[in-house]
Structure 1
């Protein structure tokens, strides 16, 4: 009899060899971002986590700001455009941070905690960004400046809570 592994919480067993037996259905694993081979046994120090968090945040900020500017060009109201771009940007950040920065396995409890954290940072980021956008003079740098200030605030909140709480959840 061959050794077996369980696919992320799936009740269907898949042989270690990767080839299902004819009598066993094969259920594919969830899509994963292919940034590391194994995440289970690795632990990163604070400096590495900060660097990776900043790199991931930079990429996610580009996604967020790029989508925001694109949506604003279509005439979408600022708060709606910012809400959509925030959701896309933070989803990108979570997927990369879970796998690469904090080396965490998938977890429903962690995902729920992240959704709650993102709800708080959503209110903080969209609130700051919308308020600054309405207070600053109508110049080319208004939206990017409001974005950077709001993003910076949300980034600090996210890192502290994710490192201290969320990615310690099993």
Structure 2
């Protein structure tokens, strides 16, 4: 019987984790975007709508990432690390959203594209930090 290659196993684990993270991220992004759109329709300014949608999307992401994507137990330390990471990400995505709104041409899709750009940037940063800092075993 052939021995299992540890590097291949680690790579497979990373890919599986990345796929689950992407699924959770996609679902959480839909939640985030729906809340963002609702808040805009209720008359909130873009920064306020983005702030509220981020909190709702982040709460969804934490619960699903911890249990399914990274399959780790909870605890105060992990929750605090997650909260700290997402607090930093919050300000980053607000800045990226504002920058995108400032540089994108005025159009009917500018607000949605700015949201998508800020979401994508925040998601990439979060995966790296969650994998190697917050949810590491």
* TM exceeding 0.5: yes
Residue 134 (structure 2) aligns with: 166
**Bigger proportion of residues as helix:** 2
List gaps (5 residues or longer) in structure 2: 1-9
Asked whether 1:103 is paired with 2:39, we answer no
Give the structure, 1 or 2, with the largest relative contact order (CA under 8 Å, sep 6 or more).
2
> Number of paired residues?
127
**Local SS of the residue matching 1:165:** helix
**TM-score with structure 1 length normalisation?**
0.71
Greater Rg by CA: 1
The match for 1:139 is 107
Match of 1:94 in 2: 62
Map 1:26-65 → 2, pairs under 5 A: 45-65=13-33
Aligned to 1:139, the other structure's residue is in SS state coil
Structure 1 residues without counterparts, runs of 5 or longer: 1-42
> How many Å separate the matches in 1 of 2:19 and 2:105?
34
Q: Runs of at least 4 residues of structure 1 off by over 3 A? A: none
In structure 2, distance between residues paired with 1:138 and 1:121: 26
State the alpha-carbon separation in 2 of the partners of residues 133 and 58 from structure 1: 22
User: How much does 1:131 deviate?
Assistant: 2.4
Deviation at 1:168, TM superposition (A): 1.9
2:135 aligns to what SS in structure 1?
helix
Aligned to 1:118: 86
Task: Tell me how far 1:138 sits from its aligned partner.
Answer: 3.1
Distance (Å, rounded) in 1 between the aligned partners of 2:127 and 2:58: 12
Aligned residue for 2:5? none
